[in-house]
Amino acid sequence: MDFTEEHITTDFLIIGGGAAGMRAAIELARSGDVLVATKDSPSESSTEYAQGGVAVALSDEDEISIHYDDTMQAGDGLCNRGAVKTLVAEGPMRIRELILWGAEFDREGTKLAFTQEAAHTKRRILHAHGDSTGREIMRVLLDKVRSFNKVTKLDFAFTQNLIVRNGRCTGAVVLQQPEGKQLVVTARAVICATGGTGQVYERTTNPGVATGDGLAMAYRAGAALMDMEFIQFHPTALFLSGAPQFLLSEAMRGEGGMLRNIHGFRFLEQYHPARELAPRDVVTRAIHSELNATETDHVYLDMTHLTNDYVMKRFPRIYTTCKELGVDITREPIPVSPAAHYIMGGVKTDLWGATNIPGLFAAGETACTGVHGANRLASNSLLEGLVFGERAGLAAARYATKRKNRLLSGLSASPINGRQATRSRNPRRSATPLDSRDADHIQMSLKKLMSDAVGIVRDRKKLSAALKQLRAWERMTAIAEPHRSAGELQNMITTSLLIARSALLREGSVGAHFRNDFPNKGKGWRKRVVIRK
């Protein structure tokens, strides 16, 4: 397919339309024209699918310092203290702001209603419409964004690559496939907020858009990535043949749900004193062990001891979805097994979203401030998107103002010419484009490879073999016609390589990263794995 190339100039380009991207757009609308490019519909993001809630120290029994301690404990010794302090201290302001803008969080009378989730020592999880918190937050953010005439949304627009001129990020190449256009977007600053990369695994709670696009394009542009080995698997995703891998919220265990193996035995007390409220990595590995011991592919989440009315009111979306799929969660235990859920690593940034490439910022799941350490505390992700999305917006505006002032004062570098402008690309090592059937086969094989070799339990032999195969696929897909599906496959291969390389480099087990050949943390475990092209 032939594409018409068009050039667009804007003040700020945001790639991604989840909580982080939308909160950044709201901040930047005060400083200039903002273009938000999303590769699918306006609401299709991981934020939309977040059920459990948002963690914030706002209840009478809670304190910011306790939220800080819980986050640090869940991160298994690898959290960035400054990032955690920023998250928990600024979080209440961001939530009060959402309420002011019209967010309807659930209440008990006139007071906000809080629930508890794994590894939290207080009831601090705010929820909306029972189990539709992410959807409610996106509704409010999108409404707020629409109130600014400075913000333009560009939907169904796949960002192929970043543009770097004289060492600075100055825009991106965006493919509008339905319109047959390839847009070269020039901007004073770029914020990458494309979410995670769960689609590289066979089972994931992530939406189909989570193919690691921001991680891969930032890497190709020369950005540093950190902590890519830390992949969080959610312990309880629905396991039904032919059914979607529907997330069963952490809050279900927080409200009394129990995990049982296929023999009906409540097994978690053998693994951790907190049982169902143990950290996610502990619960996930416990389920993995039970699956191996019982030679089956699922365990059960049991809510049947709770009253029908309570379960239906507290988890209406989950109840309705499971009922439509043939499971009445008030009357029978729910078959579940772990699924890839969140990547703690990402594009390395400071506490203001700035990367090592001037002009390029990152926020949300795409970024890595170190706030989650080796294992994210449940329901901290929505708060992260709001807090660091706002900060990235502020920092991008400051950067653009300083850059403009320098240009006006004549202190800029020599004029930019075509030879100095580069668009980061994949290396072209193949002579012919890959057949679509071959591409589909590679994608399915990649998902299985990552699940088997770079999943919940890892070792050197499997990781080394996975890297060899991933590099072979990288060579096979190096040339491709401009197309969203081809670009997504390349990005999935790139992010998979980064995850596998990082997992091989960390010879020890910490948080969500478990090596059965190095079951202990090992020497130098506090060092971070940072990768640059």
Looking at residue 423, its pLDDT comes to 56
Residues 6+ apart with CB under 8 A from 475: 429, 430
* CATH code of the domain containing 305: 3.90.700.10
Average pLDDT over residues 344-371: 98
Which residue type, as a one-letter code, is found at position 106? D
Domain total in the chain: 2
User: Does 142 fall in a domain?
Assistant: no
Residue 428 counted as domain residue: no
| Contact residues for 337 (Cβ-Cβ < 8 A; gap 6+) | 203, 237, 239, 287, 291, 297, 298, 299
Q: Evaluate if residue 382 carries a pLDDT over 50.
A: yes
Q: What is the pLDDT of residue 378?
A: 87
pLDDT for residue 432 = 58
- What average pLDDT does this structure show over 226-245? 93
Where a domain ends, among 340, 362, 379?
A: 340
pTM: predicted TM-score of the whole model, two decimal places: 0.91
Give the helix/strand (H/E) hosting 55.
Answer: strand 54-55
Q: Which of 340, 372, 406 is the last residue of a domain?
A: 340
Q: Assign residue 525 the CATH number of its domain.
A: 1.20.58.100
Does residue 273 sit in helix, strand or coil?
A: coil
Q: Of 120, 455, 379, which Cα lies nearest the Cα of 463?
A: 455
In a domain, 400, yes or no: no
Mean pLDDT value across residues 52-66:
92
Residue 347 has pLDDT above 50, yes or no: yes
For residue 40, the model assigns a pLDDT of: 85
Q: Tell which wins on pLDDT, 154 or 428.
A: 154
The pLDDT assigned to 422 comes to: 53
177-196: average pLDDT: 94
Assess whether 81 carries a catalytic annotation.
no
On whether residue 320 sits in a domain, the answer given is yes
Cα(466)–Cα(472) distance, rounded to whole angstroms?
10
Is pLDDT above 50 for 426?
Answer: no
Task: Say how far apart CA 61 and CA 316 lie, in whole Å.
Answer: 27
pLDDT exceeds 60 at position 346: yes
User: pLDDT band at residue 430, thresholds of 50, 70 and 90?
Assistant: very low
What is the pLDDT, as a whole number, of residue 43?
Answer: 59
Residue 119 forms part of a structural domain: no
Which pLDDT does position 428 carry in this prediction? 43
Q: Average the pLDDT over 413-426 and give the result.
A: 41
- Which is the catalytic residue, given 275, 280, 376, 391? 280
DSSP, res 353: S
Helix (H) or strand (E) holding 72: helix 64-74
The yes-or-no verdict on residue 12 having pLDDT over 60 is: yes
| Last-in-domain residue among 291, 311, 340 | 340
Residues of the chain with pLDDT > 90: what percent?
79
What local confidence, expressed as pLDDT, does residue 51 receive?
53
Confidence bin at 409 (pLDDT 50/70/90): low
Question: In a 10 Å sphere around its CB, with 0-12 CB exposed, 13-18 middle and 19+ buried, how is residue 2 labelled?
Answer: exposed
What pLDDT is stored for residue 65 in this prediction?
Answer: 97
Confidence of residue 202 (pLDDT cuts 50, 70, 90): very high
Contact yes or no for 508/519 (Cβ under 8 A):
no
Is residue 391 predicted with pLDDT exceeding 70? Answer: yes
Domain extent at residue 305? 235-340
Reported as a single tens digit per residue, the pLDDT across 286-312 is 999 999 999 999 999 999 999 999 999
Does the pLDDT of residue 464 top 80, yes or no? yes
What average pLDDT does the chain have?
91
For 184, list phi and psi in degrees, rounded to 5.
Answer: -100, 105
pLDDT in tens, 514-527: 999 999 999 999 99
Q: What confidence tens digit (pLDDT) does each residue in 97-132 have?
A: 999 999 999 999 999 999 888 789 999 999 998 778
| Nearest alpha carbon to residue 359 among 186, 219, 498 | 186
CA-closest candidate to residue 398, choices 28, 8, 48, 26: 28
Q: Is 505 contained in some domain?
A: yes
Cβ-count burial 414-449 (b if 16+ within 10 Å, e if not): eeeeeeeeebbebeeeeeeebeeeebeebbeebbeb
Q: CA–CA separation, 435 vs 485, rounded Å?
A: 12
Average pLDDT over residues 215-222: 98
Q: How confident is the model at residue 177 (pLDDT cuts 50, 70, 90)?
A: confident
Per-residue pLDDT, 45? 56
**pLDDT at residue 243, as a whole number:** 84
